[in-house]
A and B are shown apart, each in its own frame.
Chain A
Amino acid sequence: MAGSNSVLSVVASGSSLTYQWYLAGAAISGATAATYTASDAGTYYVVVTSSDGSVTSANAVITVSSAPVITAQPTAATILTGTSQTLSVTADGLEMGYQWYKDGAAIDGATHPTYAASAAGSYTVAVTNTAGTVTSTAAVIAVSSSVTAPAINVQPVAQTVNAGASATLWVAANGVSLSYQWYRNGMAIAGATDRLYKINTTNANSAGDYKVTVTNTAGAATSTSVALKVNVISAGANTPAVVNAANAFLATLSTDQKTVATSATSSTTVLFDYALANANQWTNLPGARHGLRLNTTTLTAAQLAAANVVIAKALSATGITLLNELRAADQVLAGGMAAGGGAGTGGGGTGMPGTGTTPPDGTFTPPADGTGVPPTGTDPGAGGIGGAGSGGLTLDYGTDLYSIAFVGTPSATSPWILQIAGHHLAYNITYNTGKVSATPNFVGVEPPNWTVATDGTVTVTSNAASAGKAHAPMEKQRAAVYNLAEAIYADSSTSAAAKLTGTFTDVIMGASGNSDGNFKSLVYPTSGRGVQYSAMNAKQQSYVRTAIEAWVNTQASDVASTLLGAYLADDALANTYVGYGVGQNGVKADFSAYPNSVASPLEAQHSYIRIDGPRVWIEFVVQQGIVYGTDVHYHTIWRDKTNDYGGSF
């Protein structure tokens, strides 16, 4: 197929051929000839059909260029007689040409994005491409003989902050038409051209000597150089504690329970070889996992206590709470199934039990100090839930089906992975001396919220804020994406820029069936990523950071602070995007609280949002419930594009 000047044509051989052209997968009405004149941008192909069958052509991508859009206007200035001020314009668009004007008259030869203006007047620039022309706002240049060089009145102040906190450096100077440029260790910082320079989230890389130069056409002044110190918790500081706890747990196990597994799905041992085939054994599906079950059928009280110490050392208090609450949610599902709940995978969902058996409420205590009061995971007496054999999963629910596994040998100096996994949960934490990776990390929940009355009755249909003990395991994450999505909608330009094409019925970087078997072939998008962080307002930006923190802060503080340092660094955030897919209501991505309390909660299903940075990748999707089919449920995945499984595989 050839495409030129948007006329697409196809040559096919055969008799009694019919043609049908497609745009983005949809048949174009009336486009049934061998040629088609495309007027819209998109991916085209043609299907040629004869009595033998159909042949589909290769894709032809048509791009339609749009008129330039000015993203930075030239600025007015008062300049010293005999000097010049460089005016500049920045625009988005393809193949753009520039022409500067002074007082409405084109300036001969001024056809670049910048122009050095030395005469008084009103300057504009026209930016042109084949699709149109846009003219900038006017920048008035005034010429005066009394302009003096800037003088700095207040110098920046040296500071010490904890990693993760913000830091603001500022300067005050006398003079007209001042411009600023901040430097870190002598290097100009891109975009730091204001009187204030704020680092929203400091990390080890933020530390250094800062100075600013203040300039106008009469001269320049440079501030004193001041140090910014950042207190960083060293990465891997917590690793020896986790290794000690892991070894203590191993010491409680029988020989069989710590014999290196010969099958990637073995449920009789905690130890697996350090290989991808063992590391990728996690999924969002219900049922048992490889490794040893965290229940009293599999482990003795002493063994279970030792396992819980490992978990307590590896996660933050919020990470442990999340684990315990998700296990409790799974027990609610077990109760829902026992009470006669049907699978509600059909379009409208089937009958749903409103109540179920008591989850093991109140037995999950996060450590108060983060150093390790282990969770007291007791056996809630679910009894007959047996472990799955080798091979596939048995799709059971229950708090008993969560497991612990070590992929590799726990060590402070060589890589190994701690896995804590079960339905809707996969913590994969790779320890490699000073480097710790917390991904892939899958978190999901059904039901999103429920209450337990004093008599033990579980209610999943009402607002969790109503009477009884309320549970909402993923409230932090839900609230974070809700705030982010709402802030993006509030502004029509970000709302349009962030909208992704297509429908999302699940996360796209999740497990594939029973394991993360697609790990080696994951491809992250390079275009159509949504709205860029730098194009967001301050409120939206702060919600992006809060959302990233909602996932990362489930990890131990050394791990979380190191990862946040990387994910929230200025240059990383500058290249971070947010995209969303609308829910079934067709209007917006709806992450509002307790959708099960509204008339038609399923309108929110397919709501989707993702944060897509140079390393961080977080997706959140709203799905229909499985056990509670008239309610929604959540799936989320957090990956690190360069460092899943410690970057080993």
Chain B
Amino acid sequence: MKRLIAACSLMWAMAAGAHPSPQSEVLLESRPGGIRAELVLPLEELALALPGAAHASEAQMAAYLAAHIRPVAPDGRAWVVKIEQVRWLMSQRPADVVATMTLRPPAGAPLDRFTFANDAISHQVQSHLTVVALRSAPGEPSRVLGTLHYGQRSLQVQGADPRWWSGSTDLFRLGVQHIAEGTDHLLFLLTLLLPAALLVKDGKWAGFGGARHLLVYLLKVVTAFTLGHSVTLMLGAWGTVRLPEQPVEFAIAVSILFSAVHAWRPIFPRREGWIAFGFGLVHGLAFASAIRELQLSGARLVTGVLAFNLGIEAMQMVVILIAAPLLILLARRPSYRMVRQAAALMSAVMAIVWMSQRV
């Protein structure tokens, strides 16, 4: 157990080994329909909470632990805790009590999200720390979820479900949310669409090019943008490409400025596809930082990135479905020039404000 946690966080185990007030360690491991938990309790501290802990019977210790391990479903219902085995490791220093147990959610409650609390020692020993780690399957690397300490005796466990598709709906929603609430992504998209229905003539935006022209433009730009951000999102989520946040945010503001200038007067006519692809690369880096925080791995990472990307696409489609009919209606009128230029100007101002904030 100690070695497993050490695999991802060497320091915890070392701290535990050297400290006079060693901490408890909990390793949660996903199994179909439940969680297998291994709990290591330093006997010296446990004895302060449960006098006679060194000589208790296995049944006594099991009953004691069952009363102090509390997984709770999001709706407040308690999980079932079954202590499978208790061992006393008396020969090692400091001596430990190691308990293995099965935690099962109540009917209908998710395996993927629950609150885990353990006060086996800390209900008495106020200074006691408990490190909680999770791995999605035997053999997978474990990941430290946090430390239970004074004032915080429980923590949220997410990503405990070993099934590869679990959590995908949450990530789809996150993707939708990212575009819907990400003002800069939204503004970039809308600014890029401003001249979508127009033809270029003598280096200037000319009249309405027809619905077919608009559709081709939309298809080209949206596909290119999607391709671009998918590439960097994948690379970023895997951790292959990792850029500091500030330059990425700045580059996104620059991309909005470019689109605004282009909407005013064509600067890259008929190359919108390539430009959208290039800026897609930049925006994907920003998306990646959102998904990296979730620390997914393996098949879950692949499905997660996919679900997140689909969420982004879905929200983009909503934006386009609203914008396209409007463009068809408005772009025919001579006054659209004024509308387009006013909108381009506003986008440019916003982009410059963001750029100044993100330097």
Q: Which B residues are in CB contact (< 8 Å) with A346?
A: 44, 93-95
For the complex, give the distance between the alpha carbons of A57 and B106 in Å: 13
Q: Is the CB of A392 within 8 A of B14?
A: yes
Known: A54-B80, A502-B126, A505-B127. A20 touches B14 (CB 8 A): no
B175 to chain A, nearest CB (A): 27
**A193 interface residue, CB < 8 Å from B?**
no
Of chain B, the residue at the smallest CB distance from A47 is B67
Given contacts A47-B63, A508-B150, 13 further A-B contacts (CB under 8 A): A20-B63, A25-B49, A25-B123, A52-B82, A54-B66, A54-B82, A55-B78, A345-B19, A505-B125, A513-B131, A522-B151, A523-B150, A633-B20
B338: interface (CB < 8 Å): no
Q: How far is the CA of A393 from the CA of B67 in the complex (A)?
A: 36
> Which one of A56, A391, A523 contacts B152 once the chains associate, using CB atoms below 8 Å?
A523
Residue from B81, B104, B152 having most chain A Cβ neighbours under 10 A:
B81
User: What are 23 sample pairs from A and B whose C-beta atoms fall under 8 A apart?
Assistant: A20-B63, A20-B67, A25-B119, A49-B63, A53-B102, A53-B104, A54-B63, A54-B67, A54-B81, A55-B81, A56-B67, A56-B69, A57-B78, A58-B78, A345-B94, A391-B11, A392-B10, A505-B128, A507-B127, A509-B150, A513-B11, A521-B146, A523-B150
CB B60 to nearest CB in A, in angstroms, measures: 10
Closest to B123 in A: A25
Residue in A closest to B67 when the chains form the complex, CB atoms: A47
Give the docked Cα–Cα distance between A510 and B21 (Å): 12
Q: How far is the CB of A30 from chain B (nearest CB, A)?
A: 15
Interface residues of A in 525-550 (CB under 8 A from B): 525
Contact residue among B66, B94, B125 (Cβ-Cβ distance under 8 Å from A502):
B125
> Is there an interface contact between A343 and B104, defined as CB atoms closer than 8 Å?
no
The residues of A that contact B69 with a CB separation of less than 8 Å are 56
Chain A residues near B11 (CB-CB < 8 A): 391-393, 513-514
**Highest count of chain A CB atoms <10 Å: which of B10, B64, B127:** B127
Roughly how many angstroms separate A392 CA and B68 CA in the complex, as a whole number?
A: 31
Which chain A residue lies CB-closest to B149?
A: A518
Q: Does A503 contact B (CB under 8 A)?
A: yes
Per-residue contact bits, chain B 94-118, to A (CB 8 Å; 1 contact, 0 not): 1100000010100000000000000
Contact at B44–A347, with CB atoms within 8 Å? yes
- Write the nearest CB–CB distance from B152 to chain A, whole angstroms: 5
Q: Which of A345, A510, A523, A623 has its CB near the most chain B CB atoms (within 10 A)?
A: A345
Report how far A509 CA is from B152 CA in the complex, Å. Answer: 12
With an 8 A cutoff between CB atoms, is A235 at the interface? no
Asked whether A624 is an interface residue with its Cβ less than 8 Å from the other chain, the reply is yes
| A52 and B104 within 8 A (CB) | yes
**Is B147 touching A504 in the complex (CB atoms < 8 A)?**
no
| Cβ contacts under 8 Å, A345 to chain B | 19-20, 22, 44, 93-94
CB-CB < 8 A to B80: which residues of A?
Answer: 52-55
- Chain A 388-417 interface residues, beta-carbon cutoff 8 Å to B: 391-393, 395
- Expressed in whole angstroms, the minimum distance between the Cβ of A625 and any Cβ of chain B is 8
Which of chain B's residues 327-355 have a Cβ closer than 8 Å to chain A? none
For residue A24, CB closer than 8 A to chain B, the reply is yes
Taken residue by residue from 611 to 622, chain A's Cβ proximity to chain B (1 for < 8 Å, 0 otherwise) reads as 000000000010
The CB with the most chain B CB atoms within 10 A, among A504, A506, A633, is that of A506
Complexed CA–CA distance, A623 and B102 (Å): 35
Q: Which range holds the interface residue count of chain A?
A: 35 or more
User: Nearest Cβ distance between residue B328 and chain A, in whole angstroms?
Assistant: 50
Q: Could you say which of A55, A505, A513 contacts B15, with CB atoms under 8 Å apart?
A: A513
Judged by a CB distance under 8 angstroms, whether B258 is at the interface is: no
1/0 per position for B127-151, CB-CB distance to A under 8 A? 1110100000000000000110111
Q: Is B184 interfacial (CB-CB < 8 Å)?
A: no
Bound Cα distance from A286 to B82, whole angstroms: 39
A310 within 8 Å of B by Cβ?
no
User: Using Cβ atoms and an 8 Å threshold, which residues of chain A touch B102?
Assistant: 53
B81 and A524 contacting across the interface, CB-CB below 8 Å:
no
Residues of B within 8 A of A513 (CB): 11-12, 15, 23, 129, 131, 147
- B152: chain A residues within 8 A (beta carbon): 518, 521, 523
How many Å lie between the Cα of A57 and that of B147 in the bound state? Answer: 23
Chain A nearest CB, measured from B132 CB (Å): 12
A434 lies within 8 A of chain B by Cβ = no
Measured CA separation A504–B79 after assembly (Å): 30
Check if B298 is an interface residue, CB within 8 A of chain A.
no
Please report which residues of chain A, range 69-122, place their CB below 8 angstroms from some CB of chain B when the two chains form the complex.
Answer: none
By a CB distance below 8 angstroms, the chain B residues around A626 are 18, 20
Given contacts A25-B49, A52-B80, A503-B48, contact A285 B67 (CB under 8 A): no
B54: nearest chain-A partner, CB-CB: A347
What's the minimum C-beta distance from B113 to chain A, rounded to whole angstroms? 18
Closest A residue to B13 by beta carbon equals A392
Write out, one digit per residue, whether chain B residues 293-313 have a CB within 8 A of any chain A CB (1) or not (0). 000000000000000000000
B158 interfacial by beta-carbon distance below 8 Å: no
A510 CA to B149 CA in the complex, in Å? 10
Query: Does B124 have its Cβ within 8 Å of any Cβ on chain A?
Result: yes
Task: Please give the distance in Å from A515's CB to the nearest CB on chain B.
Answer: 8
Q: Which one, B20, B45, B79, contacts A55 given CB within 8 A?
A: B79
Judge whether B63 and A623 touch: CB under 8 Å. no
Residue contact B126 to A56, C-beta cutoff 8 Å: no
